[in-house]
Amino acid sequence: MSSQRKYVIRIAAVATSLAAFLICTDLALTALTRDQISRQLSDLSKVALRRSEAAIDYAGAMLTQMAERGVMDCSAGALQKLRLQVYQGSAVKDIRAVDRDGSVICSAYSETLEFDNGWAKRDDMLESADRVLRLFRVEQFTGAALGVLRDVNAQQSLAGILRIDANQLDIMPIRLRAQSDVTLALLDGQPIAGYRPNGGQSELSDAISFTSVSDRYPLRAIIHVNPSALSTRQGGAYLPTMVAAGVLGILFGLLLASYLSRPLDPVTELDRGLSAHEFKPYLQPTFNLKTGDIVGSEILARWEKADGRTVPPMSFIPLAESSGRIEKLTWQILALALRELQPELKRDKRFKLSVNITPRQLLSDGFVDRLRQVVAAAAVSTRQVVLEVTEREELADLNKATAVVKELSEFGFRVALDDVGIGHSGLSAIQRLGARIIKIDKFFVDAITRDQSAVVVVQMLVALAGELDMGVVAEGIEHQEQVDALIACGVEEGQGYLVSPPLPMGRFKDFLELRRACSGEAPKASPELAA
């Protein structure tokens, strides 16, 4: 997959993910906000209805109390008492005596009768659920009012006139007030009262309605609200939520882009990297534990991809070994390292350059000849090249391996056993193979300052190496205490982050110059290079 195509895929993945997160979040917020506001408005319509029911209950109680006294005779004294009762009340504005068909007989304030624009007949009045009261609309000069009728006997009834104050219906939250209205109406559709802060409009265009119907009276409360008022974008939490969604969308898009741009076939991608010479030698120095002098370096492979990413060895070495690509990879980085470090190797004949090889590669046909050709092409002495045989896999043919190691030694190459102590080789294999160096694994170095058994193992390996005339190198040294413990065990050389991590070629050369300028100092980390 070309770098340009990967770039396009990544941009498309991030853009798509960002758009999807923003759209889905907007839709979710809209749905959630609409649901919350809808439930709030439904509850508010119930509040308006309950307030109206309370006024009707008050009027009904007053009329029931008067009905229990008997028929009203409409005398001057009786009307005077009636006016006093209305005056002392709050919701009821007038009380009238009516006959059976609903016609007015007399009124507490008879002078207001001439301003009525209509009076409902009994058959037009709506019964309450308990059939005790009847509700009807009263048209007055000041606007609509609510009439509540209560029968006294078969011939006479009492009717109370309620003026439902608009302020009783002022229940809307500030954010919705300018885009909504509240209406109280009978079940036959006749409006009784309303609160309209939106300029007195009778209806809002394309309004959404929320209605609550009384289960006791033929009455309903209706809230009309402009659809735009339900928009989540008007909420204070909308922008922060969308920003958070955008960040999550970008992060998810980056993960998706990484997934989509990965090689569909890892082996094919490995082959592509080999063809493009993307595998580079990184070098970790080997130093004398007592003096700190740099005596050599180990070549370690890193995959520097065209997009600038550096892939660590554990992400590709096992695949390279299992797929048979490790040999080609090893020859590439060895040839490049020898060519780049040739001046240093010429300058210091004691400097050793080591490279890892697998047992399979050691036993492969033509290995010795190929190695000689690579070293000769770089004009480097064979005595400066160390072959570290890894013990991640077992030597399939110890006899052949011994013969190959002997032939390598005859040409001046040195062979080291890597990962000694945790690999496949036993003591007999170490003795027979003819290797010249033992490399103690980091596992024992890590434990040597806190576990006496690790000290015993290291001492045993040093003693074995002494008997077989072999050198010993400790790997993974990170602390001065480990250096002191290794020296006490008889180890002379080591490598690890205490002095330097694996470095690319340019930085390794700078490191050598810096160490050369500081020669004679005890081994210690170089801050500017160990970062």
| Residues in the chain, pLDDT under 50 | 1, 201-202, 521-531
The string of DSSP letters for 348-382 reads: -TT-EEEEEE-HHHHHSTTHHHHHHHHHHHTT--G
Residue 527 pLDDT: 41
Asked if 494 contacts 289 with a C-beta cutoff of 8 angstroms, the reply is yes
Q: Distance of CA 487 to CAs 109, 298, 304, 352, 493, Å?
A: 118, 21, 37, 21, 9
Query: What are the boundaries of each domain within the chain?
Result: 1-262, 278-507
Residue 239 pLDDT: 77
Mention every residue, 6+ apart, whose C-beta is less than 8 A from residue 194.
166, 169, 181, 182, 183, 184
pLDDT for 243-281, tens place per residue? 887 888 888 877 877 776 665 578 888 999 999 999 999
Q: To which CATH superfamily is domain 278-507 assigned?
A: EAL domain (3.20.20.450)
Mention every residue, 6+ apart, whose C-beta is less than 8 A from residue 400.
363
pLDDT for 45-101, tens place per residue? 899 889 889 889 988 988 898 888 888 888 888 888 888 878 776 678 888 888 888
Residue 66 pLDDT: 85
pTM listed for this prediction = 0.53
Asked if 61 contacts 85 with a C-beta cutoff of 8 angstroms, the reply is no
For 227, the token pair is 């659809």
How crowded is residue 480: how many other Cβ atoms within 10 Å of its Cβ?
13
The string of DSSP letters for 156-201 reads: EEEEEEE---GGGG----HHHHTTEEEEEEETTS-EEEEE-TTTS-
Q: Which amino acid is at 107?
A: S
d(CA 76, CA 187): 37
d(CA 68, CA 122): 21
d(CA 246, CA 350): 59
Residue 525 pLDDT: 45
